[in-house]
Chain A
């Protein structure tokens, strides 16, 4: 098999060289590179000149040496910003699809004087036929491009986020019968050097429990059981498991979320062993769990402050290690939710907690916030619960969150606002009011409530409210299509470099890219009864129930991961410049991206555009 990447000495070239070190050109063999170089010619276009007209078979594929080129929608003769599909600049490649299809869909026009390298169609097609890697690059979508990017990013070795539970920390479980005495169980656990045992209940095939050293200690020391008592009295039956294929990270997240020190490891629903926290920590150099533990142990806001101060370095560390963004999201969501719950615990009495449900909304609810840029929360209060100190308590809670670095919500979606801390009954009235009101604020409020996730208190309160809400919102198809309308509000910022004016600002990745996808998925989930709040899980469920095609699902997932990554990088850079967290913006500056990253971004934005077009038909959204 030929090597995947070839090293080419670019200094030897006397004509303006293509960047042969990035895909697709690094996929060619030296002999193919030679033919490529020999076959190129140069072309100059004046500003405003059409390079490829829509419907035309292009002469070849173009790589820009100098200048900017704009792509205009071929369905229209208009050449204005509304019909601008994409923009290309130095180092960008365009026209490949048009060559492969034999005709260009869109028109490509020189925005300013342009000098291009032209790879003639004939030669390009030959190379595409000869070289499968090269071909895949042009044929496949975003998913493949990401793969190439990962390959070229050369991340290796100690990337712990790629270590799987099943391959690293899983220990063979000690299995004991439920009828074993506490004493015998301790002996066997010592013998196996393990602090837990799977408990087999005779007569209940396949049903297991878990008993730990602490359980046994408590049973004898606190609950007065004798050493001869069968262990079934102190065995937990509620097993929390992770898949053997899960990454270490996920095991950690699960442990942090459930405050447990071990999880059962399953492979295709069969138990294969146990993963102990101590082993996982031994494997990781990261502080993520320590932070979780110190949040858990915190007795005061000062303690929490200390724990929180370790979060930003943790994020940077994870980013530097190339950790997958989805696991970062999961981990940070778990940590932040625990943090919010702990603050709540430190602020109000048990009675208040038992009679309310504290929920986080919007991106926090979806578990998609990594850098805390905002807080959205709400409180559902049991009907009839008397709580005279509500105003003081909720205000103190919010003040403490702000103190801990959660910037206040500019829209005042916080429980200190009585509009967002109401009894069940009033919530239902309010929600039904929003559903019937249909103005913009009402729609956006409904949207963030749909993403609600409970962090503390009575889960049933949120469950009930969620069910009522979905019932009301799905009562008519017209409502769903109305609800999804904001998806169309902002144009996809496919003009990657904007008009010259906008250049300092860059692309608003949240407005133009993340929002339409997140909101579209939300609306579809509503329509198809998908009860998930995380966008990735929504995609999974929507694919499973056939609402969206698997390919679209994959593309949306890749696109969302990409946007989140670019945004995270931008956020970290802004925070590095000591920007106040509340003032961090969502602009991506294309000039900070290399060509491949720009290609990926452009491709991902195309996915958004396709999704929007499809959604408009699917949900009958008026454009």
Chain B
């Protein structure tokens, strides 16, 4: 915790005067960004980013009207397995956005809002790899882990089944567009909104 704060302070000094300075300001709003990445594999240090999608949650509403859904250029690592899971083929990546354009758009979209995700550390670690290479800093945003929040709020036992399918099912969230980044980001957002409301009620 302390290490992260120090690191953030250090970076803040570094980005002073750059367009990214606001990212390091403390966030005072009540918006959250639900984010999800699709990748060539499950290793955030080595696998490549294929798509990144994010949707804002404002005032308990999932603003699908303000979403980000970017496809990145094809990766040589794109394995047949991954194609099977995500249904993304190289040809689908034809209409992709180059990294030089995509990363600033991601940063611009999320700003300094908290990031929500399912196994959010995976997505943040992966994104940081790219952002570090291009801009020399890492995402300072606070993160919200759906699996943890679900576990705590619904008082799950240790070792309980925390697969996304199960969480969505428990919370009665309708599933659609599963295994697309934007679909998952939207469903995770819905699950989180429901958990938030449930807390208010208790």
Residues in chain A within 8 A of chain B (CB atoms): 13-17, 38-44, 46, 65-66, 113, 115, 118, 120
Contact = CB atoms under 8 A, between A and B. Distances in A.
Given A15-B186, A16-B177, 20 more contacts: A13-B177, A14-B176, A14-B180, A17-B176, A38-B65, A39-B65, A40-B64, A40-B65, A41-B62, A41-B63, A41-B65, A42-B186, A43-B61, A43-B62, A44-B194, A46-B197, A65-B174, A66-B172, A113-B194, A115-B174
B177 A14 contact: yes
B194 A42 contact: no
Interface residues of B, number: 23
B60 interface: yes
Interface of B: 60-66, 69, 172-174, 176-177, 180, 182-183, 186, 189-190, 193-194, 197, 201
Contacts of B197: 44, 46
B69 to A, nearest CB: 8
B190 A42 contact: yes
Contacts of A46: 197, 201
A118 B59 CA distance: 14
Given A14-B183, A15-B182, A44 B190 contact: yes
A265 B133 CA distance: 89
Contacts of B189: 42
Given A14-B183, A15-B182, A115-B190, A42 B174 contact: no
Nearest to B67: A15
Best-buried of B64, B183, B190 by chain A (most CB within 10 Å): B64
Contacts of B176: 14-17
B177 A44 contact: no
Contacts of B174: 16, 65-66, 115
A20 to B, nearest CB: 14
A15 B190 contact: no
A118 B61 contact: yes
Nearest to A90: B174
Contacts of A16: 174, 176-177
Contacts of B190: 42, 44, 115
A17 B201 CA distance: 30
A8 to B, nearest CB: 16
Best-buried of A16, A66, A113 by chain B (most CB within 10 Å): A16
B172 A15 contact: no
Nearest to B192: A44
Contact of A113 (B60, B61, B62, B172): B172
8 contacts: A15-B177, A15-B182, A15-B183, A16-B177, A39-B65, A41-B62, A42-B189, A66-B174
